């Protein structure tokens, strides 16, 4: 009986773990993701690859590829990366947050104020 209880508790814990929250984005940010999805779809078509080919090579379901090409925010970042990898665009991932203009300005302001206090 204890064995069945442990299996049940483990099953409940796994179900809780698998539940994901829907990401809520403002419309202007949704449009950015939609544009990313459109860019991915165009890259696939330029390479004359089918959705089946890309999804199999990326190790994802065809429905997931459909959601990626629509810019769905609930798809994992890993799935987006694997599709970009299949398309030969994996290095584009390095461009994400690569130019931290705001961070540099904040750092420079701190350095300037520190210099004025010296």
Q: What is the pLDDT of residue 44?
A: 98
Would the pTM of this model clear 0.85, i.e. be above it?
no
Q: Is residue 17 one of the residues assigned to a domain?
A: no
Taking the C-alpha atoms of residue 52 and residue 47, their distance in angstroms, rounded to an integer, is 13
Residue 86 resides in a domain:
yes
pLDDT at residue 63, as a whole number: 97
Per-residue pLDDT, 26: 93
- Block means of pLDDT (10 residues each) for the chain, length 118 residues? 49 56 86 97 98 98 98 95 97 88 87 69
Could you tell me the CATH number of the domain that includes residue 32? 1.10.260.40
Q: Tell whether 14 is covered by a domain.
A: no
Residue 68 counted as domain residue:
yes
The residue segments making up the domain with residue 33 are 24-91
Number of domains in the chain: 1
Q: Is 34 exposed, middle or buried (0-12, 13-18, 19+ CB in 10 A)?
A: middle
Listed in sequence order, the residues at least 6 apart from 56 whose beta carbon sits closer than 8 Å to its beta carbon are none
């Amino acid at each position: 009986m204890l064995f069945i209880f442990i299996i049940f508790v483990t099953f409940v814990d796994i179900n809780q773990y698998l539940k994901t929250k829907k990401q809520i984005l403002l419309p202007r940010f949704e449009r950015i993701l939609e544009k990313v999805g459109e860019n991915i779809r165009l890259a696939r078509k330029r390479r004359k690859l089918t959705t089946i080919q890309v999804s199999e090579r990326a190790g994802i379901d065809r429905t997931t590829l459909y959601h990626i090409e629509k810019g769905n925010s609930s798809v994992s970042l890993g799935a987006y990366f694997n599709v970009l990898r299949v398309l030969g665009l994996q290095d584009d991932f390095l461009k994400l947050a690569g130019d931290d203009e705001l961070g540099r300005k904040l750092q420079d302001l701190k350095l300037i104020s520190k210099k004025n206090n010296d």
